[in-house]
Amino acid sequence: MRTTYLFSFLLLASFLFSACNNYKSEYEQLLDENAAIQQKLNAMSEEDRLIRGEYSETIETLNAIEDTLRAIETRDKEIQKLSQSKEMSGDISQRQTIIARLQALKDANEKSNGQARQMQARLNSFRIENEQLRKMISQAETKVMAKEKELEEAQGVIDGLRTALSKMESQLLESEGNLAEAYEELKTKNEDLESTNRQLTTTIEELNRKNVFIDEQAKGYVACGSKKTLRRKGILSRFSMKLTKQYQSAVRANSSSINYFESNQIECGTEGEIIAVLPARPESSYTINGNRLEVNNAEEFWKTDKIVVIVKK
């Protein structure tokens, strides 16, 4: 009986041991399969993340390209406006300023277009399967290529304007050369004319001085009056019939001048006779007739003094 129990126990233990071994093997296999599935899921998740990232970056890049193309379009309009500006018909300085601005705008567009090309190249490197996105990428590439052509045309316009400006500058330099030559010739003539004018002015001044001298030499100054009157004017001394030391300036200040070449008679009022002629002159050079003095010999009479003081009663 005990033997039967022992055998039954051993048989059960053997079965349980075998069952445990089989379960362990299946469990390890399940762990391996689960690890493989998890690895595949991780890979798929990473790929999905990358694809989603590329999609997002594609949209952002497309928007950036559109912004860049709009900026280029704005500058294109300004280029067209400037190239047709009325100031392009202005002077060289105005044209140079406009052409410099045109070149700056064109260079900015070229830089922006280069950036657009770089972004387009990046788009082309993405693995985009969405048909709509691929169409948008293709359209963006077409726009970028069109802008490249427009940039070439804009550079052609600017180069044409530069050529026209260079031609104008050459013509202006030639004109300036002719003007400079004409100016130098005119300057020389003006200098000659100024020299002639200076000489003429000098000659006129000399003639005026000579005329003044001649007029002055032909002037005689006459003071006529009683002894009392002449003494009051500081011409005749108080206690004699002699002239004062300052009689010449006194006579000039109190009488008018005469041109002794034009007149040989000197009137001395209407009353009173002439009693003396000072300074003394040769008696043969003049004659006294009442209140009038007649000059017989002007040279002898005026040689003594250009001032005559006639004393009356």
Q: 275 and 311 in contact (C-beta within 8 Å)?
A: yes
- CB count in 10 Å sphere of residue 149: 9
- Cα distances from 98 to residues 44, 155, 160, in angstroms, run 59, 14, 13
Question: Chain-wide mean pLDDT for the chain?
Answer: 75
Instruction: Express each pLDDT in 138-151 by its tens digit.
Output: 777 787 777 777 77
Out of 74-88, 262-276, 289-303, the most confident range is 289-303
Strand-pair partners of 289: 292
Q: What is the dihedral of CA 106, 72, 75, 102, to 10 degrees?
A: 0
* pLDDT for the residue numbered 115: 76
Nearest 5°: the CA angle 159, 164, 166 is 90
Q: 98 and 88 in contact (C-beta within 8 Å)?
A: yes
* pLDDT for the residue numbered 277: 92
* pLDDT for the residue numbered 31: 67
* pLDDT for the residue numbered 244: 92
Instruction: Express each pLDDT in 221-244 by its tens digit.
Output: 888 888 899 899 999 999 899 999
* pLDDT for the residue numbered 13: 56
Distance of alpha carbon 116 from alpha carbon 73, whole angstroms: 13
Task: Name the amino acid, one letter, at 214.
Answer: I
Pick the residue with more confidence: 139 or 44? 139
- CB count in 10 Å sphere of residue 102: 24
* pLDDT for the residue numbered 46: 47
Pick the residue with more confidence: 212 or 142? 142
Q: 238 and 231 in contact (C-beta within 8 Å)?
A: yes
Out of 22-36, 87-101, 295-309, the most confident range is 295-309
What is the SS3 assignment for 292? strand
Length of the chain: 313
Q: 60 and 122 in contact (C-beta within 8 Å)?
A: no
Instruction: Express each pLDDT in 134-187 by its tens digit.
Output: 777 777 778 777 777 777 777 777 777 777 667 766 776 777 677 777 778 778
Confidence of residue 296 (pLDDT cuts 50, 70, 90): very high
Helices and strands (H and E) in the chain: how many: 6, 7
pTM (two decimals):
0.35
Residue 1 has pLDDT above 60, yes or no: no
Residue 52 has pLDDT above 70, yes or no: no
Residue 284 has pLDDT above 90, yes or no: yes
